[in-house]
Structure 1
Amino acid sequence: MSSAKKITFRSSEEESFDVDKAVAIQSQVVKELIEDDCADVKIPLPNVPSRILAKVIEYCRQHIDLKAWDAEFVKVDQTTLCDLILAADYLNIEGLLDLTRLTLKDMIKGKTREDILKSLSSEKYTTPEEKEECWRKISEILN
């Protein structure tokens, strides 16, 4: 990320922290300041002490890596994604369920029910009834 645009945060003790813009804009406050042209590359944060700002920046950096990992993780076919949703729901893994639900919603946006059922793998769901049952379960979870 070293070639990315840098933003400098200034803590309450006037200590400077240089971070990539992608890290900085995880803060909605910072993002809005930048979008509204209310801030250049130096942003004072008079209510945040240096030791806390360092921890916040660490969290934001790690979160960017997790977002990239999440995006790669859900690059699967629709059947696998549906199976992941069912497993996450059964095991009550909220983060995985949120990620897979959002991904499936994006994947099926604008498709008809029939198109969605057709795209379910015929190896896993061999009969129309099996596909219908899978879709019924998924629909309950999506809502």
Structure 2
Amino acid sequence: MSSLEKKVTVSSSDGEVFELSLTVAQQSQTLNRMIEDDYCANKDCIPLPKITGKILAMVVEYCKKHALTSSLRELKAFDDEFIKVDMDTLCDLILAADYLCIKGLAVLTSLSMSSSIINKTLPELCQTFNIDNLTPEEFEQIRRENH
């Protein structure tokens, strides 16, 4: 990142601050629109209240890699390692990708989610998502609606 390149500062819901190059920030359609609308002109930092520092750090890492790497093979290897996360982190990444409108990250996380739940039974899905407070009636209703 050249010292002359414009930078954008964002902050997470828990107060972590990240400085991004314009090229990296533009990986997000949401941030790109804010930049184009000159939202950053009067602000030192763009608050991202729906994303924790842990998840924002991962999103920034993803955006940096995808902004600065042209090798498809290298990006595929990066994505394959990047997406090896637990279910809670995966859900948070899906929400962050949606909130920030990062299409590639949204596709990557959604495909990972779908492959991790495909062909699971309702009890297995409940276990995967830590849902243990369904009544037998609710459980039976869900089963009927989805068969």
TM-score band, normalised by shorter chain? 0.3 to 0.5
Indicate the structure (1 or 2) with the bigger Cα radius of gyration: 1
TM-score, normalising length: structure 1: 0.44
TM-score, normalising length: structure 2: 0.43
Identify which of structures 1 and 2 has the higher relative contact order when contacts are C-alpha pairs closer than 8 Å and 6+ apart.
2
